[in-house]
């Protein structure tokens, strides 16, 4: 028998797209949006090394970094407060851009992340789909994952991060422990045994810089 969870997720996604929420899920909603064009969005692997051969997809001696003012981002979040006190947070993030390496080879990349957080007042249940694609020269790879985990929380807050000039550059959730720091063991801050690796492609922790 098919699981009802994907069906409910699809209904909610379509409902938000067309501007309504089913009565069973009705509640107050707060929306957040960050849109950046021709922006500099740092990767997790800083220059000069950048994305390099610690990722098995990158040839030895190659160091790839994002181009300054070469990225576009659209990140959106909706926080729904249910009548019974539960919360649901849906976040989508799309980053596209260009990069180059120490041999002046040009690259293009696409990063997509979709996360759903369901909070019952004491525990946050997370579902995250993450994909990073990079292409240029002899490099052409895609890494990603579909993971689930849970963590305890006394409260949950969505907020917009601003740079020194006051421009909105990111949306974050607090608290938000990631499932793992090494791709092998669970983060000690999450519920023990809650990390479920539905699917994993490649080595995202070494090859996904966003």
Does any domain span residue 2? no
Q: Is residue 1 part of a domain?
A: no
Provide the pLDDT for residue 135. Answer: 98
Residue 166 lies in a domain: yes
Q: What is the DSSP string of 81-123?
A: E-TTS-EEEEEEEEEEEEEEETT--EEEEEEEEEEEEEE-SSE
Q: Can you give the residue range of the structural domain that contains 158?
A: 27-207
Evaluate whether residue 6 is within a structural domain: no
Kindly give the pairing relationship between strand 123-136 and strand 106-119: antiparallel
What would the pLDDT profile of 72-97 be if each residue is shown by its tens digit? 999 999 999 999 989 999 999 999 99
Let me know if residue 31 belongs to a domain: yes
Asked if residues 150 and 186 have their Cβ atoms less than 8 Å apart, the reply is no
Mark the ranges of the chain whose per-residue pLDDT is less than 50.
1-25
- Sign of the CA dihedral 11, 13, 18, 24? positive
Give the span between the Cα atoms of 15 and 22, in whole angstroms: 7
Distance between CA 120 and CA 150 in Å, rounded? 11
Helix (H, G, I), strand (E, B) or coil at 2: coil
Inside any domain, residue 22: no
Burial of 208 (0-12, 13-18, 19+ CB in 10 A): buried
Asked if the peptide bond before residue 158 counts as cis, ω within 30 degrees of 0, the response is no
Looking at the chain, the number of H-run helices and the number of E-run strands are 2, 9
* Rama region for 183: left / alpha / beta (φ>0; ψ in -120 to 50; rest): left
pLDDT of residue 159: 96
**Into how many domains does the chain fold?**
1
pLDDT at 136: 98
pTM of the model: 0.86
Residue 21 lies in a domain: no
Within-domain flag for 195:
yes
């Amino acid at each position: 028998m098919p699981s009802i969870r994907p069906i409910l997720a699809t209904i909610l996604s379509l409902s938000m797209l067309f501007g309504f929420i089913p009565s069973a899920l009705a509640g107050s909603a707060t929306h957040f949006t960050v849109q950046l064009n021709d922006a500099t969005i740092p990767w997790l692997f800083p220059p000069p090394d950048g994305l390099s051969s610690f990722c098995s997809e990158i040839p030895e001696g190659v160091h790839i970094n994002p181009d300054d003012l070469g990225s576009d981002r659209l990140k959106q979040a909706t926080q729904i407060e249910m009548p019974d006190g539960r919360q649901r947070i849906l976040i989508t993030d799309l980053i596209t851009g260009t990069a180059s390496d120490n041999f002046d080879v040009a690259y293009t990349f696409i990063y997509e992340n979709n996360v759903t957080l369901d909070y019952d007042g004491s525990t946050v249940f997370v579902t995250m789909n993450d994909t990073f694609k990079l292409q240029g020269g002899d490099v052409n790879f895609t890494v990603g994952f579909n993971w689930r985990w849970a963590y305890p929380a006394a409260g949950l807050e969505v907020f917009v991060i601003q740079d020194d000039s006051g421009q909105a550059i990111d949306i974050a959730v607090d608290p938000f422990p990631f499932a793992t720091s090494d791709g092998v063991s669970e983060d000690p801050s999450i519920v023990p045994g809650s990390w479920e690796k539905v699917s994993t492609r490649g080595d995202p922790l070494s090859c996904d810089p966003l």
